[in-house]
Structure formats: structure tokens, C-alpha cells
């Protein structure tokens, strides 16, 4: 039996539960909106929008929802489609036919076959190339100029391969289909947010003047301290891959969006912003998502009393089931915000939460809150209740995030770094300029730090700033993020040497186990070769040393770095 509304006692219990979850999961502030039967029944903020200023989070505090934005991009494209026009655009339209030479990939056959639906359902099989949009390696124009150097890592349409840069392509497709010179952001605002009365909904980089006034202050964990995160850290993703995850809004506007989803694409007046056939495409199962008990399921029998499954991906939404009820959902992760949206179409229920910390367990707060509220609305006794809300290691604690947002390889932070000295290669041999046609340029300089000694200072893009030291393993340097990159508690860089001369020739950043970004020493990444007429051959340099190992250092550092830095997600 579904409860038609929440009683005062139930509302009070939910408030207490949310506050307890926040206190033991390092969440400063949280936004909650619950919609049932297309009507909001809970819309509020909890905790602090800004801890230092003692500014409370309210239903008007703006939180960034990261990858929850993806289905909004799909919906915006849907507003440009009309099923009554047989020759008009659809999710089956080929991207190459729309973008022409602006869309070039290493795999020319794939380039000609990819459709809008492939972009939005993560079926392209292309590599993620995550560093540029995470660290500001270059701008959006450069992303499209360099996309042809990103290699495929999965078979086309055969495996789910989460990919934020393909959503950047989807945004450009929207601009081309609109044809009026509007930006992707303006299309979303004019075609969706304004008709739905979402007057304060915006995009991460659209109006920086609002950051201090309207936005929740983002945080990260500096040891055991909740530290302020600069909004500038989030800007690259907002500038380069906005269609993948740059929507920011408060709980009142989010509730209006949830009403839109439950109404299957209609505004409160009953006007269809999306045709029914188009909405069906958004929420149908486009590709299976491979599940594993400890990573893909927020809850799974027999480990937990119930199952919340993550079975397939639609257009910007996962699909699955909770307690046997059909479910659409998505998580979001930015360097300072995490979010989660659940929609039960058959129950006419939707729940959304966002918070302003992404470390120290904060990203795991969403699933228990969502399932707790759902169980109450179903008239059931919540299984994830007040007695087990605080992490104990018994339950599935971590809501799975996307590989390019947050790695699925753990949720704890690494040990403090112990710098080791010995008969390693001199640090000066690692210094130099390293380039990648797909990823941009990385600079490593030898520096001398008072009371510490020699180190390598690495910079990349607008955010990347690290200090590296000897690790005790040859041709592997470890270090910490600096300045705006302080949230990276431990990082490893793996170097390769020429098998004949023993000179360093490249470095690899292990943020993606499928395709770690590799930079070639002395390569100028701005001097791009002419577009290839056929897929370029693999150019793996001879590797002699610095290869990631499964020993104590190699595995732990790789896992720690991926956990800290990685899509999405």
C-alpha cells in the first residue's frame, strides 16, 4: 500500500533520520525534494550552505547535481524532435550527418555510425579522456579538435562504456539541430527550465556572481577536517563538458523537474514539452550495465534484506528495480558536490538529494535516505533505519558512481605518504615537458623544498598541481595535490624508459584502468598532425620500468588515486 501523504510524525522521523545520516557521513548541507502523485510533499534544505558563515541550507540553496544533469541533456535534445516529421531528427540520427567535419574519431567506421542515442546511452565504446575536463587541460574548442586522438576501448554498441566527452558532443548536436545560434545552456533553459517555472536553475559556469550569493559552498576532506573547495575547481567541467554534468539548482526547482518526469514530459498545465514517444526513448533500456555484488548494487540480497538493482542504461538514466518496482535513477559527483535522483514511474514517486561534500563518506548518504523515504511511502518498515544508518562496514555503504566521476574501486582514503630515499633514478631525470594529442600538455619541474629537499612539481591545465617524490619503486613517483588540487590526498605517476638508452620517454596517469592517459616526453601536443585517413596504429613505447604492479605500492597507489580523482560520476 502506497501512503498518499506523509503524516507529521513521518515528516519528523525523516528529518531526524536525514540529520543523523549527515552527521555520521561528513555532510555539511543537504537538499531534499520528494514528489508524489506529481505534487511536492517535502522540499527543504538541511545543515549548512556555508559552515564558516553559519549560513543554513534552505529550499532556495543551489546545489550542483553533476551527472544527474545527463538526462536533462537528453530531454533537451528530445524537445528538438517531432515524431510526426518522418525525416526530422531522432535519437537514431547519425551524429556525422549533423556535425560533419566537426566530429572526427580515430575509428572512421564508428564515426559514421554513431547516433544521438549512442552518445546518450554510453554505447560508443570510446575512451573517456577524463583529464582535460576534470583538470582544465584545454577548452571546448580543443576538445573537438583533439577528439580524433581518443582511441576506442570497447566494441561499438556491445558494452556499456561511460563517457562524458560524448555528452559534450551531444550538446553540440543540440546547438546544430536548434539552428538559431543558441548555446546548449540556452536551449535547456528556454525549452525546459522556463516552461517548467524553474527560474533559478542554472549551469555551473554560467553566472559565477551567484556562487557566493546563492550556491552552497562545496567542501572536501583535508584529513579529518571539512575544508572549503574553490568553485574554480569545478569550472573546467562546466566549461568543457557542461552537457555531462553542469546543472545547478535548488530543491524547489528540482521538485518541478521531478513533477515533469512523473508527468512523462508535461508541464503543470498539461502541455507536452516532450512527445510521449520521445519520453519513452529516454527511459527505455538501451544497453545492459554489468553488475557485480559489491560495486554495482546499492543493495543486494542476500547481503542486504532487499535488492535495489542497476540493470540497464537509458538516455541519461539507469534503470532497475527496488522491491520489485520499476526505477529510473542516476548519481552525480563533482569535486565538492554529490547528488542522486530516483523516479518510480508506477508508484508516481520521485526523490532527489544533493549535498556539498564529496569525500569522507558524504557520497554514500543518498541511497539510505532514498530507500528510507521510499519504504515509509510504501507503508513498510524501513530496513536501512536509524539503527544502521551510520557506516558499520556490514551494509553496501557506497552508492556506485560513474568511472569518470568517482571510481568504483573503493570509498576510503589512502594512508599518509612516507617518502623513501635510496638508489632510485635522480629526480631531475623525470623533469621535462610531456605531451598527449588527446589530453594536452603536462609540465614537470625539479624544485627544492625547505626541510624536505628535492621534489618534482607537476602542473596540468588550470587545476592540476602536484608535488611528487620518490616512492621506493623505480620509476614510480608519489605525491599530493597542491593548492586547488589539495583534495587529492595521494597520487602516483608511472614512468617508462627506453629499453636501450634507459632515458625516460613517457609517463602514465592511472586514472582509468581501461586506458590510462599517457604523455610522451618532449612531445608538443599543440602541433597536431593532419587527420588520419584510417585508424592510427597503436604507438606503445618500449616499457622497461615503472610498470604498475600488483604489489603493495602499485595496487594501493593505483586504487587510491583512482578513488580520489575519477567519471564519472
The verdict on residue 143 lying in a domain is yes
Domain hosting residue 486, numbered range: 427-565
CA atoms within 13 A on the CB side of 120: 36
What count of residues does the chain have? Answer: 569
CB within 8 Å of 517: residues ≥ 6 apart = 129, 130, 131, 436, 438, 439, 508, 509, 511
Nearest Cα to Cα of residue 253 among 195, 167, 340, 186: 195
The DSSP-derived string for 499-559 is: TTT--EEEEE--S-SSS--EEEET--TTSPPPPPSSPPPP-PPPP-S----SSHHHHHHHH
The verdict on residue 54 lying in a domain is no
* Domain edge (last residue) among 131, 162, 186: 186
What SS3 state is found at 119?
helix
Residues 383, 387, 388, 390: what is their CA dihedral angle, to the nearest 10 degrees? Answer: 140
The verdict on residue 529 lying in a domain is yes
The DSSP-derived string for 302-367 is: TTSSS-B---EE-SS-EEEEETTEEEEEEEEEETTEEEEEEEETTTTEEEEEEESB-STTGGGSHH
pTM over 0.95: no
The verdict on residue 118 lying in a domain is yes
Number of independent structural domains in the chain = 2
- 35/43 Cα distance (integer angstroms): 9
Residue 109: per-residue pLDDT: 97
Tens digit of each residue's pLDDT (9 = 90 or more) over 214-230: 999 999 887 788 889 99
- 253/199 Cα distance (integer angstroms): 8
The verdict on residue 213 lying in a domain is no
Sheet strands side by side (includes 63-64): 63-64, 247-249, 202-203
Q: Which residues pair with 455 in a beta bridge?
A: 447
- Cell 599543440 -> residue: 526
The verdict on residue 463 lying in a domain is yes
Residue 539: per-residue pLDDT: 53
- 31/43 Cα distance (integer angstroms): 8
How many helices (H) and strands (E) are present in the chain, helices listed first? Answer: 16, 22
Is 198:62 a contact under the CB 8 Å cutoff? Answer: no
- 522/202 Cα distance (integer angstroms): 41
What SS3 state is found at 236?
helix
- 269/254 Cα distance (integer angstroms): 18
* Domain edge (last residue) among 186, 205, 236: 186
Residue 303: per-residue pLDDT: 81
- Cell 532527489 -> residue: 352
Residue 551: per-residue pLDDT: 38
* Domain edge (last residue) among 120, 153, 186: 186
- 88/329 Cα distance (integer angstroms): 29
Residue 423: per-residue pLDDT: 57
Backbone angles phi, psi at 160, to 5 degrees: -70, 125
- Cell 572536501 -> residue: 220
What SS3 state is found at 182?
coil
Tens digit of each residue's pLDDT (9 = 90 or more) over 478-499: 999 999 888 888 889 999 999 9
List the pLDDT tens digit at each of the 569 positions of the chain: 455 689 999 999 999 999 999 999 899 999 999 999 999 999 999 999 999 999 999 999 999 999 999 999 999 999 999 766 778 899 999 999 999 999 999 999 999 999 999 999 999 999 988 888 888 888 899 999 999 999 999 999 999 999 999 999 999 999 999 988 999 999 999 999 999 999 999 999 898 999 999 999 999 887 788 889 999 888 988 889 999 999 999 999 999 999 999 999 999 999 999 999 999 999 999 999 975 444 456 678 888 889 889 999 999 999 999 999 999 999 999 889 999 999 999 999 999 999 999 887 778 899 999 999 999 999 999 999 999 998 764 333 344 444 433 332 222 223 334 444 445 899 999 999 999 999 999 999 999 988 889 999 999 999 999 999 999 899 999 999 999 888 888 889 999 999 999 999 999 998 877 788 999 999 999 999 987 555 555 555 444 555 444 333 443 333 333 333 443 34
- 351/382 Cα distance (integer angstroms): 15
Peptide bond into 401 cis (omega under 30): no
CB within 8 Å of 463: residues ≥ 6 apart = 134, 135, 136, 232, 233, 236, 484, 485
The verdict on residue 131 lying in a domain is yes
The verdict on residue 327 lying in a domain is no
Neighbouring CB atoms inside 10 A of 485's CB total: 21
Nearest Cα to Cα of residue 199 among 221, 219, 181, 214: 214
Is 484:227 a contact under the CB 8 Å cutoff? Answer: no
Q: How far is CA 252 from the centre of its chain?
A: 23
Amino acid at each position: 500500500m502506497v501512503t498518499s501523504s506523509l503524516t507529521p510524525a513521518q515528516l519528523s522521523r525523516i528529518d531526524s533520520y536525514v540529520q543523523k545520516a549527515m552527521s555520521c557521513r561528513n555532510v555539511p548541507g543537504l537538499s531534499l525534494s520528494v514528489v508524489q502523485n506529481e505534487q511536492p510533499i517535502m522540499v527543504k534544505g538541511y545543515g549548512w550552505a556555508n559552515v564558516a558563515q553559519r549560513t543554513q541550507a534552505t529550499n532556495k540553496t543551489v546545489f550542483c547535481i553533476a551527472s544527474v544533469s545527463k538526462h536533462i541533456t537528453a530531454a533537451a535534445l528530445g524537445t528538438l524532435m517531432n515524431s510526426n516529421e518522418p525525416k526530422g531528427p531522432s535519437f537514431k540520427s547519425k551524429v556525422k550527418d549533423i556535425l560533419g567535419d566537426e566530429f572526427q574519431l580515430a575509428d572512421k567506421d564508428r564515426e559514421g555510425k554513431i547516433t544521438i542515442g549512442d552518445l546518450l546511452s554510453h554505447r560508443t565504446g570510446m575512451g573517456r579522456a577524463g583529464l582535460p575536463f576534470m583538470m582544465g587541460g584545454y577548452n571546448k574548442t580543443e576538445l573537438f579538435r583533439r577528439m580524433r586522438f581518443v582511441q576506442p576501448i570497447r566494441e561499438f554498441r556491445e558494452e556499456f562504456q561511460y563517457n562524458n566527452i560524448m555528452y559534450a558532443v551531444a550538446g553540440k548536436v543540440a546547438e546544430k539541430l536548434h539552428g538559431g545560434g543558441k548555446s546548449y545552456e540556452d536551449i535547456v533553459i528556454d525549452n525546459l527550465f522556463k516552461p517548467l517555472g524553474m527560474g533559478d536553475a542554472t549551469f555551473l559556469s554560467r553566472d559565477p556572481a551567484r556562487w557566493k550569493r546563492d550556491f552552497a559552498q562545496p567542501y572536501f576532506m583535508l584529513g579529518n577536517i571539512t575544508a572549503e573547495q574553490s568553485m574554480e575547481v569545478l569550472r573546467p567541467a562546466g566549461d568543457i563538458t557542461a552537457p555531462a554534468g553542469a546543472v545547478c539548482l535548488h530543491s524547489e526547482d528540482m521538485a518541478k523537474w521531478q513533477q515533469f518526469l512523473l508527468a512523462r514530459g508535461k508541464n503543470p498545465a498539461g502541455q507536452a514539452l516532450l512527445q510521449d514517444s520521445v519520453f519513452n526513448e529516454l527511459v527505455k533500456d538501451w544497453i545492459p550495465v554489468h553488475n557485480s555484488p559489491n560495486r554495482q548494487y546499492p543493495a543486494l540480497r542476500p547481503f542486504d534484506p532487499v535488492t535495489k538493482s542497476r540493470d540497464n542504461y537509458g538516455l541519461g538514466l539507469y534503470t532497475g528495480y527496488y522491491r520489485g518496482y520499476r526505477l529510473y535513477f542516476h548519481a552525480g559527483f563533482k569535486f565538492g558536490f554529490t547528488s542522486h535522483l530516483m523516479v518510480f514511474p508506477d508508484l508516481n514517486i520521485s526523490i532527489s538529494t544533493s549535498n556539498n561534500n564529496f569525500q569522507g563518506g558524504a557520497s554514500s548518504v543518498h541511497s539510505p535516505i532514498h530507500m528510507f523515504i521510499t519504504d515509509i511511502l510504501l507503508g513498510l518498515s524501513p530496513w536501512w533505519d536509524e539503527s544502521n544508518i551510520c557506516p558499520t562496514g556490514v551494509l553496501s555503504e557506497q552508492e556506485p558512481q560513474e568511472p569518470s566521476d568517482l571510481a568504483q574501486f573503493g570509498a576510503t582514503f589512502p594512508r599518509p605518504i612516507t617518502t623513501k630515499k635510496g638508489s632510485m633514478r635522480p629526480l631531475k631525470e623525470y623533469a621535462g615537458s610531456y605531451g598527449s594529442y588527446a589530453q594536452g600538455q603536462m609540465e614537470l619541474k625539479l624544485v627544492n623544498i625547505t626541510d624536505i629537499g628535492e621534489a618534482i612539481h607537476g602542473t596540468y591545465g588550470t587545476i592540476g598541481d602536484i608535488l611528487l617524490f620518490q616512492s621506493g619503486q623505480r620509476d614510480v613517483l608519489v605525491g599530493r595535490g597542491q593548492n586547488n588540487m589539495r583534495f587529492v590526498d595521494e597520487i602516483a605517476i608511472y614512468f617508462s624508459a627506453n629499453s636501450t638508452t634507459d632515458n625516460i620517454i613517457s609517463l602514465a596517469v592511472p586514472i582509468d584502468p581501461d586506458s590510462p592517459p599517457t604523455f610522451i616526453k618532449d612531445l608538443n601536443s599543440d602541433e597536431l598532425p593532419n587527420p588520419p585517413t584510417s585508424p592510427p596504429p597503436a604507438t606503445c613505447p618500449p616499457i622497461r620500468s615503472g610498470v604498475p604492479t600488483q604489489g603493495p605500492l602499485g595496487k594501493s597507489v593505483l586504487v587510491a588515486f583512482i578513488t580520489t580523482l575519477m567519471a564519472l560520476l
